[in-house]
Amino acid sequence: MPDRMWSLAEFRFDEAIEAAEVYLDSGTGLELMARDEAIAFAHERGANLVASGPPAGEAAPSCDVAKVSLPLRWERVPLDEPAADERLWFEAPCGRRDVLVGNGHTFVGRMAAWCPHEGVGYNVSRAEMGAMSEEARYFVAGFLAGNEPGYPAEADGETDEADLAAWRAATARFRRTGSWYGRWGTCQVCGCVLLPDTADDRCHEHSSAG
């Protein structure tokens, strides 16, 4: 599953598929064939050869036979914004109750919130939230679990034990704070490499809270 929505500019079909060979199910199962042969197969059926996703570095991408209309355009779906669910309330930094409404789509762990008092939306992290309803607590727990960055892996797919232990510690703290800085940093006292969920300049051992 991709970690982002693809742009229409990344859509590839027919000759725009930059590969000499492709994988295509021509009715007898998935098989490797020349791209031009696959295009001809699709055109004979009044359709086009469509790559199943943007180029991912593979020598032979998987493709489908599908109709393509020009100019390219996205499907149109009516936009129906759901109403704020008052059960998802939490105590905001201002001391009043605001409501969680979804994903902030900014930094990892940031949630979209709505202030009914001022009529404005904003983004909030778990660490900025005070008391909350039971429904909001479950919402936050599920949201942060789904936002956890994946574990580090080497080019061969293996993961170093020290990296894995650091990832576990970082994601555990992320589920408590909702913050993920995602940049390299080192402790100004002992020089250790800081976990990516913090923007502090000291490690847990040498922080005032450690």
| Model confidence pLDDT, tens digit, residues 52-104 | 887 777 689 999 999 999 999 988 888 776 678 999 999 999 999 999 999 99
Query: CA-CA distance, 48 to 14, in Å (whole number)?
Result: 6
Count of CB atoms situated within 10 Å of the CB of 82: 7
Q: What is the largest CA-CA distance in the chain?
A: 71
Q: Give the chain's mean pLDDT.
A: 89
Query: CA-CA distance, 146 to 175, in Å (whole number)?
Result: 10
Q: Which pair of tokens denotes residue 141? A: 């727990």
The average pLDDT across 160-170 equals 91
Q: pLDDT tens digits for 93-133?
A: 999 999 999 999 888 999 999 999 999 999 999 999 999 99
Residue 1 reports pLDDT greater than 50:
no
Query: CA-CA distance, 73 to 29, in Å (whole number)?
Result: 30
Residue 210 reports pLDDT greater than 70:
no
Query: CA-CA distance, 9 to 104, in Å (whole number)?
Result: 25
The average pLDDT across 34-63 equals 90
pLDDT value, residue 28: 84
Cβ atoms of 183 and 108 within 8 Å: the answer is: no
pLDDT value, residue 77: 82
Q: Which pair of tokens denotes residue 206? A: 């040498």
Query: CA-CA distance, 37 to 21, in Å (whole number)?
Result: 9
- For residue 95, the surrounding DSSP H or E stretch is none
Residue 185 pLDDT class (50, 70, 90 cuts): confident
Residue 152 pLDDT class (50, 70, 90 cuts): confident
DSSP β-bridge partners for residue 62:
23
Residue 134 pLDDT class (50, 70, 90 cuts): very high
pLDDT value, residue 51: 92
Cβ atoms of 23 and 61 within 8 Å: the answer is: yes
Residue 46 pLDDT class (50, 70, 90 cuts): very high
Query: CA-CA distance, 96 to 124, in Å (whole number)?
Result: 14
pLDDT value, residue 177: 93
Confidence (pTM): 0.69
Query: CA-CA distance, 15 to 18, in Å (whole number)?
Result: 7
Strand, helix or coil at 134? Answer: helix
